[in-house]
Structure 1
């Protein structure tokens, strides 16, 4: 399969490129700088510029663009960047696919479990509606931006949870734990949807090349885990203590909105459609995912 990837230099994008290559697929990428060779196409997503030949070449497209959520503080300007970096890039790809004489058969578009907001006590399959809050609004519009491509291409929205990897969203927790400050986040009882980096990449390849699914697909591990179970698993794997608690009020005081949107929500997200489609997780428990993230499995 000829696969065009946007966001290929990021944590997930890099793992995806390796997985695609290992699976025998040809990969080309979209880059904002000048292209260096025939495997790259320069684009300017904010300006709606994407070479038509890039989309015409591809059998499948994966888009993973977006300003990092871990950058603090979320000023008014950075909130706008979080939004535009996702919606503008997605809209640019959607319009290019809609205009193509030979559109790709499938487009796996990045999304996030932020769609669901804070939903304590609910089981969140893909049938659940959107929640409330800044990220829920961003993700709702992010997914809606693919609409121009819907009539001509199978579009999949991958609602991704916390990706367990050496770096990325796990990095601050890793650093604190290595320094002996492993902590329970908030009350520790909130469900954190998680997935190993390897399973994230494998799931995207599955949805590209081995599936007929369209619409939202939850990318979260099959065994639920609370935030306390995630941080304890990290401490055990690193052989460090897990003694402290960071109360919700302190997180809100220090971090503001990002704490409310990313660390404290309770989201029991179930990968119902992915499992129903026959996908087998390589790391079905959070302990296995943490071990894999730290290179110990």
Structure 2
């Protein structure tokens, strides 16, 4: 759904070079917005601004004149294995960047009207048979701990800045958490994972970015689930990927094997069932371009 604001906004984006960030920046610029990108290297264009999020350093003057800040920063969950050191990076990369942005907003002479900060459905944990709304309590597990701290770190933004923590699931596209599945399928090892019945909270890459754009001009606050409108078990997703890539799909990887090989990451990423309900987003007027997982898969494999 196109953004509802008629006049262009100045939008500051962290994580703009990532899988979701690149698509979001493209859509924002297509809408006519002035997008500034926070980078950790030397800026290469006038739209890039250097910052040091791990040191929580961002000049508050960067925030002045900005209408909205969108935070997409965070180490990839799809990088395996989750060693103790990498788990710390997963947490720190989210909390430190969010705190740096929120603190800079608090010190700005004119804070932004909107702060959209990434979050994840991992806060719910493994919840088979449940319909998970934004009011559902957090579940157990490492990701539940990470997301809870991540969302809390955004709360220190100025009180007048509308805050949305958008809880994203599995984004169906050519990267992100689906990348390991794509790699195995491409190698002819497309497989059912566990029973194949776990509900994966998928969303198409286009709709992920479009939903974030929608939230720029919405009046919604607090957590908002970003997932597809129709539930899909993991077997339906992995099977369709294999079908579209013209690769075999004859294997099953039992749950104990996934747990043995990937340990905590296997259970939380591949074997968790999370039926995230998106009524809050839909009732606010958002309309999905891809309403089934198959349509979202077709969209990126047809590119």
Question: How far is 1:181 from its partner?
Answer: 1.7
Aligned to 2:274: 267
2:41 is aligned, of 30, 33, 36, to 33
Compute the TM-score of the two structures, normalised by the length of structure 1.
Answer: 0.97
Structure 1 unaligned segments of length 5 or more: list them: none
- The answer to whether residue 237 in structure 2 is matched with residue 230 in structure 1 is yes
Of the structure 1 ranges 38-47 and 87-96, higher mean CA displacement relative to structure 2 is found in 38-47
* Cα distance between partner residues in 1 of 2:197 and 2:83: 29
Which one is further off, 236-245 or 193-202?
236-245
**Cα displacement (A) at 1:247:** 0.6
Distance 2:48 2:187 in 1: 41
Assess, with a 3 A threshold, how the Cα gap between structure 1 residues 150 and 132 changes in structure 2: closer, same or farther. Answer: farther
Distance of 1:240 and 1:17 partners within structure 2:
33
Contact 1:126/1:272 (8 A) holds in 2: no
2:293 to 276, 283, 286: 286
1:277 maps to 2:288: no
Residue 97 (structure 1) aligned to one of 91, 105, 114? 105
Match of 2:5 in 1: none
Q: Which blocks of at least 5 consecutive residues in structure 2 are unaligned?
A: 1-8
Look up the SS of the partner of 2:64 in the other structure. helix
Question: SS state of the match for residue 82, structure 1?
Answer: helix
Query: Which one of 188, 196, 202 corresponds to residue 188 of structure 1?
Result: 196
Q: How many residues end up aligned between the 2 structures?
A: 295
Choose the corresponding residue for 1:141, options 145, 149, 166.
149
Q: Which of 162, 166, 170 is the matching residue for 1:158? A: 166
For the 8 Å contact 2:14–2:72, the answer to whether it is kept is: yes
The answer for the alignment partner of 1:118 in structure 2 is 126
Of 188, 208, 225, which aligns to 1:218?
Answer: 225
Distance 1:289 1:191 in 2: 16
Question: Aligned-residue CA RMSD in angstroms?
Answer: 1.1
Structure 2 Cα separation of the partners of residues 74 and 49 of structure 1:
27
Could you list the per-position Cα deviations for residues 237-292 of structure 1 after superposition, in whole angstroms to 9, with x for gaps in the alignment? 12222111111100011111110111111101111211111100000101100001
Runs of 4+ in structure 1 deviating by more than 6 angstroms, as ranges, are: none
